[in-house]
Amino acid sequence: MEYIIVSDIFGKTAHLSHFARQFNAKSIIVDPYDGQLQPVIDEQLQYDLFITECGHDNYFNKLNTILSRVTKPTTVIGFSAGGAAAWRSQATVKNSQIKRLVAFYPNQVRHYLDLSASVACEFIFAKQEVHFDILPVLACLEQQIKVQCQRADYGHGFMNPLSKGFDSFGYQQYNQYLLTENN
């Protein structure tokens, strides 16, 4: 199994690179900034930069190109904007080599509930979100046979130390879960 790690708005970071290396397989990181490290100062400024430099639709299109070229069994792991782009892309590309999607707190999926899972999809939402009610989104997604959803006991961004929502225990818990499930 190979891995495609789709970053959040922070892009490729030392932490995400370390995360990707933990899997005993080939992995690549897809990010909004073409691998250029970003000087993260503030989460809101980083979001503004993401919208300016890439945006949700461009990120989705970029990922479509990458997923359409996959030739070996691959798991996609996406975070926030990356998880939402991966949801959209798996439904569009429908590459049979993409075997699984795990998406952490992919808020934007709420705008794409009409899409269908072409692969096994697991959504790990934050305990709660500021901008919307998670429960109707969970209820809608869980109607699909290939979709599983859960709410973590942590806030949005709990897997990323650069996020104000980072939770060390939550990171360790879900990191171990991914490594156990995928190695």
The pLDDT value recorded for residue 180 is 84
**In this predicted model, what pLDDT tens digit does every residue of 141-150 receive, in sequence order?**
999 999 999 9
**In this predicted model, what pLDDT tens digit does every residue of 37-83 receive, in sequence order?**
877 778 889 999 999 999 999 999 999 999 999 999 999 999 999 99
The pLDDT value recorded for residue 177 is 92
End-to-end CA distance of the chain: 9
- Percent of the chain exceeding pLDDT 70 equals 99
CB 46 within 8 A of CB 10: yes
Does pLDDT of 183 surpass 60? no
- List % helix, strand, coil for the chain (3-state, nearest 5): 40, 20, 40
CA distance 148 to 172: 21
Tokens standing for residue 120: 């096994």
The pLDDT value recorded for residue 182 is 59
pTM of the complete model: 0.96
Residue 75 dihedral angles phi and psi, to the nearest 5°: -105, 135
Q: Taking all residues of the chain, what is their mean pLDDT, rounded to a whole number? A: 94
The pLDDT value recorded for residue 38 is 77
- H-state helical runs in 2-133: 14-21, 43-53, 55-68, 81-93
The pLDDT value recorded for residue 17 is 92
CB 36 within 8 A of CB 62: no
The pLDDT value recorded for residue 41 is 74
The pLDDT value recorded for residue 39 is 76
Tokens standing for residue 53: 């430099």
Q: Closest by alpha carbon to 91, among 71, 108, 68, 70?
A: 68
**In this predicted model, what pLDDT tens digit does every residue of 92-113 receive, in sequence order?**
999 999 999 999 999 999 999 9
Q: What is the mean pLDDT of residues 22-46?
A: 88
CA distance 92 to 94: 6
Residues facing residue 3 across a β-bridge: 27, 75
